[in-house]
C-alpha cells in the first residue's frame, strides 16, 4: 500500500531556531493517525508544512505521490477554532456547500449534482437532521460534524484536524473519533488528528506520531509509547509503567520542564526522585489546546 502522506527528514528553522528536527513518517489510505504532543512540541508547524504554508529548511513532503502544493485540493483541513455568530444567516448545509468552491469568486449555480454531493457529506457525518439549522446555533459537537463535512465535500485524499476534541465533552469526543475512523475506512482517505490526549483515539487509531521538542517518533502505539523510544525522544531517561491498566511515563528528577504542557504529577513527599506523567492506556493525557496554525516561535498577533 503506497503512502498518501510521506514526510521525510523535515527540518524547519524560524528566526534561527529549529522548530522541526528530522521529522519522518508515512500515512496510508484508510488510516487514522494521532499527532500527539504538548504546546511547543511542533504539531502546529508540522500542520503548516503539510498544508504548504511553511517553508522547509530540509527534507520533503509528498501528498498522494506528488510534492506538496499550497493550492492542492488533495488536503482537507478542519481548524481548532472556528467562531460562528449565532445570528449568522447561514444554514449548516450552506457551510458545507461552500466547501465545494468557496475559495473562488462569484456565486456558483445550483445544480442537482451539487446538492446531492452536499447531502451525501451531511449524511456521512450524521448531520442531515440539523442541515437546515443556523450553523451558529448548533452545539460544539454538531458544528464539528458540519466542519468535517465542509472539509470532505471537496473530496480530499488527506484530512487534517487540529485539536478537534479540545472543546467537546467525553461522549461527544468519542462520537467524533468513531465518525472519523469510519470515514477514513469508507472513503479510503488518510486522517491525521492533532491532540494533546491520546486516550480518546486509542480504540480506532492505526498509528501515532508522538512529538517532543520538534522531534517525532512514529509507528503503532505499542511501538512508540515505550521507555526506550520516549527516552530517545526526550533526550533523557524515561520509564513507562503499567499500573492498574494505566500507563505512567516517569521522568528523572530535574526534567519536569521537558514534559511541560502535559498533566504532570509533580514530586511530593516520598517521591523526590521523579515526576510522573499519566498517559492512560498507552497514551498521553494533556493540557489545554493550541492556537490555530501559525509559525511556532512567533507570538500571535
Per-residue confidence (pLDDT) for residue 1, from 0 to 100: 62
Question: What is the mean pLDDT, run by run of 10 residues, along the chain of 301 residues?
Answer: 90 94 95 90 93 94 85 80 79 90 56 88 92 90 91 91 85 87 92 86 89 92 87 84 64 48 32 36 32 45 42
Per-residue confidence (pLDDT) for residue 288, from 0 to 100: 30
Per-residue confidence (pLDDT) for residue 140, from 0 to 100: 85
Per-residue confidence (pLDDT) for residue 180, from 0 to 100: 92
Per-residue confidence (pLDDT) for residue 8, from 0 to 100: 96
Per-residue confidence (pLDDT) for residue 265, from 0 to 100: 29
Query: Got the DSSP string for the chain?
Result: ---SEEEEEEEEEETTEEEEEEEEEEE-TT-EEEEE--TTSSHHHHHHHHTT-S--SEEEEEETTEE--TT-TTEEEE-S-----TT---BHHHHHHHHHHTTSSS-PPP-HHHHHHHHHHHHHTT-GGGTTSBGGGS-HHHHHHHHHHHHHTT--SEEEEESTTTTS-HHHHHHHHHHHHHHHHHHT-EEEEEES--GGGTTT-SEEEEEETTEEEEE-HHHHSSHHHHHHHHTS-EEEEEETTEEEEEEETT-GGGGTTB-EE---TT-TTEEEEEEETTS--B-S--PSS--TTS---
Per-residue confidence (pLDDT) for residue 262, from 0 to 100: 38
Q: Closest Cα to residue 97, out of 79, 80, 109?
A: 109
Q: Residue 273 and residue 254: Cα distance in Å, rounded? A: 9
70-84 burial: b if 16+ Cβ within 10 Å, else e:
eebebbbbbebeeeb
Per-residue confidence (pLDDT) for residue 263, from 0 to 100: 34
Q: Residue 122 and residue 260: Cα distance in Å, rounded? A: 39
Per-residue confidence (pLDDT) for residue 58, from 0 to 100: 96
Within 13 Å and on the Cβ side, how many CA atoms surround 245?
A: 1
- What's this model's pTM, rounded to 2 decimal places? 0.76
Handedness of CA 234, 221, 125, 118 (dihedral sign): positive
Q: Which residues pair with 252 in a beta bridge?
A: 274
Amino acid at each position: 500500500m503506497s503512502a498518501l502522506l510521506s514526510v521525510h527528514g523535515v527540518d524547519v528553522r524560524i528566526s534561527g531556531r529549529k522548530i522541526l528536527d528530522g521529522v519522518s513518517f508515512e500515512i496510508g489510505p484508510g488510516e487514522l493517525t494521532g499527532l500527539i504532543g504538548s504546546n511547543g512540541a511542533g504539531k502546529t508547524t508540522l500542520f503548516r508544512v503539510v498544508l504548504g504554508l511553511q517553508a522547509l529548511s530540509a527534507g520533503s513532503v509528498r501528498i498522494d505521490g506528488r510534492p506538496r502544493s499550497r493550492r492542492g485540493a488533495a488536503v482537507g483541513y478542519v481548524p481548532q477554532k472556528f467562531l460562528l455568530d449565532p445570528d449568522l444567516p447561514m444554514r449548516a448545509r450552506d457551510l458545507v456547500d461552500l466547501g465545494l468552491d468557496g475559495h473562488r469568486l462569484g456565486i456558483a449555480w445550483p445544480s442537482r449534482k451539487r446538492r446531492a454531493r452536499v447531502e451525501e457529506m451531511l449524511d456521512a457525518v450524521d448531520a442531515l437532521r440539523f442541515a437546515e439549522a443556523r450553523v451558529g446555533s448548533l452545539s460544539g459537537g454538531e458544528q464539528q460534524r458540519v466542519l468535517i463535512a465542509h472539509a470532505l465535500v471537496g473530496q480530499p485524499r488527506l484530512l487534517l484536524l487540529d485539536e478537534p476534541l479540545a472543546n467537546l465533552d467525553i461522549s461527544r469526543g468519542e462520537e467524533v473519533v468513531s465518525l472519523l475512523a469510519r470515514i477514513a475506512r469508507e472513503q479510503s482517505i488518510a486522517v491525521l488528528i492533532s491532540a494533546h490526549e491520546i486516550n480518546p483515539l486509542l480504540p480506532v487509531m492505526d498509528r501515532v506520531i508522538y512529538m517532543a521538542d520538534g522531534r517525532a517518533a512514529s509507528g503503532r502505539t505499542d511501538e512508540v509509547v515505550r521507555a526506550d523510544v520516549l527516552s530517545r525522544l526526550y533526550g533523557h531517561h524515561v520509564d513507562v509503567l503499567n499500573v492498574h491498566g494505566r500507563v505512567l511515563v516517569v521522568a528523572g528528577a530535574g526534567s519536569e520542564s521537558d514534559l511541560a504542557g502535559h498533566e504532570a504529577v509533580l514530586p511530593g513527599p516520598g517521591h523526590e526522585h521523579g515526576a510522573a506523567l499519566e498517559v492512560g492506556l498507552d497514551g498521553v493525557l494533556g493540557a489545554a489546546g493550541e492556537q490555530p496554525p501559525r509559525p511556532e516561535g512567533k507570538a500571535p498577533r
